[in-house]
Chains A and B, each alone.
Chain A
Amino acid sequence: MPAVSKGDGMRGLAVFISDIRNCKSKEAEIKRINKELANIRSKFKGDKALDGYSKKKYVCKLLFIFLLGHDIDFGHMEAVNLLSSNKYTEKQIVSPERGALQGLALCSLPVLSAASCPMAQAAACRPPQDSMDSVKQSAALCLLRLYKASPDLVPMGEWTARVVHLLNDQHMGVVTAAVSLITCLCKKNPDDFKTCISLAVSRLSRIVSSASTDLQDYTYYFVPAPWLSVKLLRLLQCYPPPEDAAVKGRLVECLETVLNKAQEPPKSKKVQHSNAKNAILFETISLIIHYDSEPNLLVRACNQLGQFLQHRETNLRYLALESMCTLASSEFSHEAVKTHIDTVINALKTERDVSVRQRAADLLYAMCDRSNAKQIVSEMLRYLETADYAIREEIVLKVAILAEKYAVDYSWYVDTILNLIRIAGDYVSEEVWYRVLQIVTNRDDVQGYAAKTVFEALQAPACHENMVKVGGYILGEFGNLIAGDPRSSPPVQFSLLHSKFHLCSVATRALLLSTYIKFINLFPETKATIQAVLRAGSQLRNADVELQQRAVEYLTLSSVASTDVLATVLEEMPPFPERESSILAKLKRKKGPGAGSALDDGRRDPSSNDINGGVEPTPSTVSTPSPSADLLGLRAAPPPAAPPASAGAGNLLVDVFDGPAAQPSLGPTPEEAFLSELEPPAPESPMALLADPAPAADPGPEDIGPPIPEADELLNKFVCKNNGVLFENQLLQIGVKSEFRQNLGRMYLFYGNKTSVQFQNFSPTVVHPGDLQTHILSGPLAVQTKRVAAQVDGGAQVQQVLNIECLRDFLTPPLLSVRFRYGGAPQALTLKLPVTINKFFQPTEMAAQDFFQRWKQLSLPQQEAQKIFKANHPMDAEVTKAKLLGFGSALLDNVDPNPENFVGAGIIQTKALQVGCLLRLEPNAQAQMYRLTLRTSKEPVSRHLCELLAQQF
């Protein structure tokens, strides 16, 4: 180390750093640091005053410790003391300390108020032998810093002219620093600093026209003063084009020179040369776009960017795509941008870097107009099939917006949206499919086509749930339009929809039930079939209150109401009020303000066509509040055609019936034998059940103690099995029986009193530990409990039923708190309810090829979790197999080349989303070790599953 050794005398510091580097473990490092901290503390607190050198050394050590990521809560005073020292070496060390800059700026603060010449006075803070120039530089940037911290402290006025005049300074470094200051100040007081325009232009012109060697040390790889040029161009973007014709002429000349230079052969092959040169070029193009008044320059800029689109440097392609996005919104260059469509489409297909592909998608979106919408939409749809997960949702939104905005006929629009659902159903948000329903409802001419298309789409063997939703709604409203065709006669329509019913989530099933009741109205011949479906035990006694209520109410409505009443209640939906597309609002939210601007301004589309006029934003409707909320009012509640069905708001129906609800038949179907065997006696009236869904009583936070120490261990026993004894002590035994289907579960808890004395005030409750303040229903799990008797006789057993719905993925299980009095003494017990995320696994069978393809798709580091651990049980392949199956995943044979290894796949079903999971377990019999790898599309899920499963072997 040549230059460094001189003057660097802090040996103690070097020794300390070496020590840290030699530490073998994190613990050793922390130990060494704590030792040092104790030492420094005692030195700082000690009686002996420290000399400057020691103070500096210790502050340096503290800085190093801070840099390692440890918190430092002392020593600040010593650092400040160093700052006030009159020895340079001691003062200097403080400058890396955080806040030092403010410190330095603060030095000039009193100076500012005391004298009107901050520049000269700021010199007081600097070593005397510095030349005036470097003082000016630092002072300018300190002032900028100060201004950003508190703008009021910086007085404008008489020295404004002096600051602007710095642009004329001989010293390039001074100008560089000053431009930053002026750019910031002029944003607030554009008029005061207006004189800077002509100075900046002449400075820029001198640099641009200088030969590459003129500026000596300010030339960077043959590019004269690139930093200063970029800053000057940036400054000019704070103002409109210069009014003075001479200044403007000179500036345009500069811009042209930059564009010309881009065509010259490079003076060096070094990347630094091209970067510096292109930095200026891109900033020039930004200025041209900002002015948006020189068609000639705009088109030249566009052509230049077009060249970059095929450059071999990824960075340039990225920037060119980004820059072109803004060019696309200028009326002068929009057409020029459009000529590059093929290149951009190609970029979308072939770029290896996802961030570049993202830019390409943005640009396609920005350059889209009626002439190329079909091509762009179809390319984006094609891209969607292989697109990265991270940007799928955004592409879906973009396609949906473009399809709506540029639809020439609405059958194309309907086709496009259905394609979207087919290709990327998971990423089609509610806003998108609400919107298609809204448009179809509002347009008579497309309703028949929509019904026909959606009917065809539903015939696919596997179709996405969103397709079922759209299909259910459209057929319920407009199924009559295609009922004349025997291939889509009412019974066919119904059986097609009903064939999907059992695979769907609760929300979709609720929607389908509403479709069924609409069918009864539209097609009286289906009444008997549908009533039979509604009457089935699986509906009338569904675990989900919403479904149960709909089944009961619709069944009664269909049997009690006259045809006229039915027709009135279930009349076709009225047209929706026209409002801004909620999709656009969603995209804007995603991308921040300005993202939707390309579509917002109607500049390119002055003759707003009739066909789109109805749904395009108009000034009067843009203000619709909360665009994402309930377009159709069916986020969770039923479609408006159906009466509101939530327990509290069911008045409408009650009025219509005006009598006791029909007694449903409660005979269990065979497949529900397990449930019925355990089920409590049927309630007297279904209404009673509806009225008392008995949400988990919400005990105050103070009521629930922490889980017992062995709660985790007990929980682990249930990760791979559903039934067994959860807890036992001398008084009480708690047994569990549970079953899970998709995102739903039912759990029976059996509380056995092992004593001969009655338990009193017996109350088991379930809470979610996440946040005890919030109601349990808003947690990731919705748990409904039924109350149990408050007394449990000696030797008796009581049973409690829990209905569980998994709304989204979760890491911590709910807590079960059991309290009772035994012989007068209060007893309390908190356990972890054996509900872990893997309970909502659905096994998925797949071929080896599919498995590997998916495995590769989940290759981001955060999607994978891996654990290597020692076997705690004998390594028996059959036992392992049983455990993995109990865990919930499917076991895939013949996938892993090593037959000893286990490979599994499954989907975690929650109401909000599905998480695909792949797992691989590699036993090593010699070492008695396992290696477990989990890959899922959600990071916390991977980790959590890995931890859960690793404890089982």
Chain B
Amino acid sequence: MQFMLLFSRQGKLRLQKWYVPLSDKEKKKITRELVQTVLARKPKMCSFLEWRDLKIVYKRYASLYFCCAIEDQDNELITLEIIHRYVELLDKYFGSVCELDIIFNFEKAYFILDEFLLGGEVQETSKKNVLKAIEQADLLQEKTETMYHSKIFIGFKKAY
């Protein structure tokens, strides 16, 4: 996979993940072009399109479009299911995920994606294993942050 984009029906970009090195300018251009192309398509149309020398696989979930660019020899249907599995992971983690969850917790959405896909390749397809990894990370984070907050609190008290 070359990149993945998440954008809303209004064309707002919600998440971008690039697995090939591109300049920022190029990325912006691609994003603009693809958002426009995909949003112009009607609901019953097929989920694949040829674009430059890549294949675009996209699917709409509620107000969000998930859009992947894959290479010529890659499998379109399995890419559709990559998207679906990612949505399932988000849903499981956030509990019926909505666009707002992804806006406010974009870093979490990235963490989950990184556990699932690495360097554009599927790393782990088991929902259980991915979520376990995320949970462990959250636990670890909580531990360090509790420590941190208690320190702040002490510091605060001393100042008075």
Contacts and interface: CB of A to CB of B under 8 A. Distances in A.
B78 A145 contact: no
A355 B107 contact: no
B9 interface: no
B125 A8 contact: no
A230 B75 contact: yes
Contacts of B81: 220, 226-227, 272, 275-276, 279
A142 B78 contact: no
Contact of B108 (A4, A177, A861): A4
Given A138-B123, A318-B48, A282 B145 contact: no
A7 B142 contact: yes
B101 A9 contact: no
Interface stretch (A91-99, A513-521, A780-788): A91-99
Contact of B126 (A8, A217, A283, A352): A217
B77 A315 contact: yes
A276 B80 CA distance: 9
Interface string B58-96: 000000000000000101111011101100000001110
Contact of B121 (A141, A282, A314, A861): A141
Contact of B111 (A69, A92, A98, A138): A92
B46 A315 contact: yes
A176 interface: yes
Given A134-B129, A177-B118, A355 B48 contact: yes
A89 B144 contact: yes
Interface in B94-116: 94-95, 101, 103-108, 110-111, 114
Contact of B127 (A93, A217, A276, A592): A217
A916 B100 CA distance: 44
Interface of B, helix, strand, loop or mixed by DSSP: helix
A228 B76 CA distance: 15
B123 A137 contact: yes
Contacts of B24: 71
Contacts of B95: 1-3
A59 to B, nearest CB: 10
Nearest to B93: A3
Contacts of B19: 101
Q: What class of interface size applies to chain A in its complex with B?
A: 35 or more
B75 A283 contact: yes
Contacts of A90: 144
Query: Which of B14, B107, B114, B140: most chain A CB closer than 10 A?
Result: B107
Nearest to A273: B81
Interface of A, helix, strand, loop or mixed by DSSP: helix
Contact of A89 (B15, B49, B141): B141
A14 interface: yes
A318 to B, nearest CB: 4
A48 interface: no
B125 A176 contact: yes
Interface stretch (A60-68, A529-537, A849-857): A60-68
B46 A355 contact: yes
B13 interface: yes
A315 B119 contact: no
A26 to B, nearest CB: 12
Contacts of B13: 67-69
B107 A60 contact: yes
A770 interface: no
A317 B32 CA distance: 29
A225 interface: yes
A220 B105 contact: no
Contacts of A230: 75, 78
Nearest to A183: B121
Contacts of B76: 279, 282, 315, 319
Contacts of A68: 13
B116 to A, nearest CB: 11
Contact of A282 (B15, B75, B94): B75
A177 B118 CA distance: 9
Given A53-B148, A145-B119, A88 B140 contact: yes
A255 to B, nearest CB: 16
Contact of A101 (B48, B118, B126): B118
B140 A89 contact: yes
B23 to A, nearest CB: 11
Contacts of B40: 860-861
B73 A95 contact: no
Contacts, number: 197
B68 to A, nearest CB: 14
Given A4-B94, A95-B111, A355-B46, A228 B125 contact: yes
A408 B156 CA distance: 94
A340 interface: no
Contacts of A130: 133, 136
A275 B122 contact: no
Nearest to B131: A3
A141 B36 CA distance: 32
A659 B78 CA distance: 78
B139 interface: yes
B124 A63 contact: no
Given A17-B103, A71-B24, A89-B141, A355 B49 contact: yes
A459 B45 CA distance: 43
A89 B141 CA distance: 5
Contacts of A138: 118, 123
Contact of A8 (B17, B105, B133, B148): B105
Interface in A365-397: none
Contact of B137 (A92, A137, A237): A92
B105 A172 contact: no
B107 A63 contact: yes
Given A4-B94, A67-B106, A95-B110, A9 B145 contact: yes
A67 B49 CA distance: 25
Given A272-B81, A282-B77, A96 B121 contact: no
Contacts of B77: 275-276, 278-279, 282, 315, 319
B143 to A, nearest CB: 8
B78 A173 contact: no
B8 interface: no
B4 to A, nearest CB: 12
B46 to A, nearest CB: 4
Nearest to A64: B106
A104 to B, nearest CB: 9
Query: Which of A63, A69, A352: most chain B CB closer than 10 A?
Result: A69
Interface string A601-618: 000000000000000000
Contacts of A144: 119, 121
Contacts of B124: 134, 137, 173, 176-177
A670 interface: no
A93 B140 contact: no
A148 B119 CA distance: 10
B103 A225 contact: no
B129 to A, nearest CB: 6
A142 B118 contact: yes
B108 to A, nearest CB: 6
Nearest to B24: A71
A234 interface: yes
A101 B18 CA distance: 10
Contacts of A226: 78, 81
A58 to B, nearest CB: 13
B26 interface: no
Contact of A862 (B36, B78, B110): B36
Given A173-B124, A176-B122, A220-B85, A314 B105 contact: no
12 contacts: A3-B93, A6-B138, A17-B104, A67-B14, A87-B144, A96-B110, A101-B19, A176-B124, A217-B129, A225-B125, A227-B122, A352-B45
Given A7-B145, A67-B15, A861-B40, 18 more contacts: A4-B93, A8-B105, A53-B148, A88-B141, A89-B145, A90-B144, A101-B119, A127-B137, A141-B119, A173-B126, A177-B124, A217-B128, A220-B85, A227-B82, A275-B78, A275-B80, A275-B84, A315-B48
- Ranked 9 nearest A-B pairs via Cβ: A7-B142, A96-B110, A279-B77, A279-B78, A89-B141, A180-B121, A145-B119, A141-B118, A217-B126
